């Protein structure tokens, strides 16, 4: 019961974020923004869908949640909200660069270049660990690391950082 409930909450959250991201993407493109590195985007979507599916397929549904890991996962949601709020209308799941717009330097962006990716990486570990699924956390951390390396290269190139 807990497994399905928690995975459903995360999935609904992600779907809501996709709606917001699409709205922001359309607006940014209409204002002259340019998308970069779109080729990796389907891989990111596949990774996240596979991660959630792996939880439902490989974890017995009656597995009780570990409350410490659940608290960590909840704290990560607060960090996710902070990241999204810091970027405001510029937050999207794609790499959209606005010509002549300064980089965001508020919120967690004061201290890190890619706080959203740090939150996602931590979530990819935390959610499986809520149910003691170390191997799912490990496999998807490695896959996410490879995809993020690709994405960060694309993003840095688009922002003129490489």
Q: Per-residue pLDDT tens for 92-122?
A: 999 999 988 888 999 999 999 899 999 999 9
Q: Which of 119, 18, 2, 125 is nearest to 56 (CA)?
A: 2
Question: Hunting for tokens 């980089």 — which residue is that?
Answer: 103
Q: Per-residue pLDDT tens for 121-161?
A: 999 999 999 999 999 999 999 999 999 999 999 999 988 86
Q: What are phi and psi of 61, to 5 degrees?
A: -60, -25
Three-state secondary structure readout of 47-81? HHHHHHHHHHHHCCCCCCCCHHHHHHHHHHHHHHH
- In the chain, the domains with their CATH numbers are 2-158 (1.20.120.1630)
Q: Indicate the pTM of the whole model.
A: 0.93
Contact 126, 73 (CB under 8 A): yes
Within a 13 Å sphere around the CA of 145, how many CA atoms are in the beta-carbon half?
7
The torsion angle over the Cα atoms of residues 8, 10, 13 and 15, rounded to 10 degrees, is -70
């Amino acid at each position: 019961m807990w497994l399905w409930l928690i995975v459903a909450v995360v999935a609904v959250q992600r779907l809501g974020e996709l709606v917001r991201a699409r709205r922001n993407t359309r607006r940014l493109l209409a204002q002259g923004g340019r998308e970069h590195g779109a080729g990796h985007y389907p891989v990111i979507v596949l990774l996240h869908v596979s991660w959630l599916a792996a939880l439902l397929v490989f974890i017995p549904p009656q597995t009780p949640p570990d409350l410490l890991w659940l608290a960590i996962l909840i704290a990560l949601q607060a960090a996710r909200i902070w990241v999204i709020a810091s970027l405001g209308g510029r937050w999207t799941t794609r790499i959209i660069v606005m010509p002549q717009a300064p980089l965001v330097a508020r919120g967690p962006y004061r201290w890190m270049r890619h706080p959203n990716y740090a939150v996602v990486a931590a979530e990819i570990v935390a959610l499986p660990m809520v149910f003691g699924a170390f191997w799912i956390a490990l496999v998807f951390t490695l896959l996410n690391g490879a995809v993020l390396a690709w994405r960060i290269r694309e993003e840095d190139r688009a922002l003129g950082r490489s």
